[in-house]
Amino acid sequence: MPTAAQRERALRILDALAARFPEAAIELDYHHGEPWQLLVAVVLSAQSTDVGVNKVTPALFAALPDVRAFAAATPQQVEGYIKTLGLFRNKAKSLVGAAQAIVAKHGGQVPRARALLEELPGVGTKSAAVIVANAFGEPAIAVDTHVGRVSKRMGLTANDDPWKVEQDLTALLPKERLLEAHHVLIWHGRRICHARNPACGECPVERMCKKVAVATPTTKLTKPARPAQRARAPRR
């Protein structure tokens, strides 16, 4: 369990990031109040950018407007709308399978329980956390590459495994602010705390950051000049 001092530090970091990114929110486009559209967008976002997903979902949702339409479709029909995304064939198969499972087992309603979501094709631990937090207001913090990287750099976790990172952050932060933390950590990771070249000079929490595994500039050392050798007397 974290100490009171660790919780206080984590809260100060969260407050500073929230002040820097007050507009932070999910960057996937979907009709709010439609959990199925969020589920589709989240599944499509795996190994793809949110920008890329947002380009394909308007036409996809126009053709297949709800979960029952997806359940009645074939993977090949879905593929036609998402070919620009990575792993589009697997994603199309997963979405049709998830829709069919939701219709058959849950009456056409996306389940609110995280464990039930994780049983659906294409929905893993992170995706389920995104869905329950954004669609149903359940306290959860999904750990993607940005959240994991930023959290470890700041010393909020010492773990690499996303599930362990989630447990660490859940123990550190107030439950009612977990979704907010998810959003601001992602925004900070995308805009300032980059993977290769973090812009530490622009960071609102630099003084609190432990900069774990962040390379710091070093002075290049030059080799000392070799002493001049005395000329040898010619042999006689």
Is residue 152 flagged as an active site residue? no
Distance CA 177, CA 166 (A): 13
Residue 44, C-beta contacts closer than 8 angstroms, at least 6 positions apart: 53, 56, 57, 82, 85, 91, 95
Distance CA 72, CA 54 (A): 23
**SS3 (DSSP) at 147:** helix
Distance CA 153, CA 193 (A): 9
Residue 169, C-beta contacts closer than 8 angstroms, at least 6 positions apart: 10, 141, 143, 147, 151, 156, 157, 178, 181
Is residue 50 flagged as an active site residue? no
Rounded to the nearest 5 percent, the helix, strand and coil shares of the chain are 55, 0, 45
Nearest partner of 68 among 31, 114, 36, judged by Cα: 36
Active-site annotation holder among 93, 126, 152, 168: 126
Total residue count of the chain as it appears in this document: 236
Question: Are the CB atoms for 132 and 38 separated by under 8 Å?
Answer: no
Distance CA 207, CA 211 (A): 10
Active-site annotation holder among 29, 83, 105, 144: 144
Catalytic residues: 126, 144
